[in-house]
Structure 1
Amino acid sequence: MVDNDAVTRPADKDPADWVTGDEPVTGPQQSYLSTLAQQAGEQVETTELTKAEASQKIEELKDKTGR
């Protein structure tokens, strides 16, 4: 029997292990970081971040803002 109430979610992968983690931050990541940073009362320089660094900062700010 299949449990239709179960939420299937892909396993979280450490951003440091991403194949593309060392590529430059994406536009959507920059936008989301700016929004979260503003809500957290922080300033974040996003232009020098990698995708992996941006993802880690997003998680940090989400925890801080309760999102």
Structure 2
Amino acid sequence: MSESNTPSNRDGAPTEDVLGGPQGDSTRKDPEEWVTGDEPMTGAQRSYLDTLAREAGEQLPGDLTKAEASEHIDRLQAASDRTG
């Protein structure tokens, strides 16, 4: 019996939906597709965004949604030395 790290279905054929496979980054989802994206930003987002905005010399509204905050964080990280 040979062992394989590739998951298979009942017929022994490899499955396409695997975790840890070479399918790309499934942890990154467009903020516009988030189910909770229209909820207020989290405390952690607010704190980190406040730091990034101050470092960039920007002011942002304090009533951002989770999705909007995430987009600003990504933008400000890309413009700075921070990577997350």
**What TM-score does the superposition give when structure 2 sets the normalisation length?**
0.64
Q: Which has the larger radius of gyration?
A: 2
| Structure with a larger share of its residues in helix | 1
RMSD: 1.8
**Larger RCO: Structure 1 or Structure 2 (Cα < 8 Å, ≥ 6 residues apart)?**
1
Equivalences, count: 61
1:65 aligned partner: 80
Unaligned segments of structure 2, at least 5 residues: 6-19
Q: Verify: 1:19 aligned to 2:23, yes or no.
A: no
Hey, what does 1:55 align to over in structure 2? 70
Question: Between the two proteins, what is the percent identity of the paired residues?
Answer: 54
CA shift for structure 1 position 66: 2.3
Structure 1's unaligned 5+ residue stretches are 3-7
- TM-score, structure 1 normalization: 0.79
| Match among 35, 44, 57 for residue 60 of structure 2 | 44
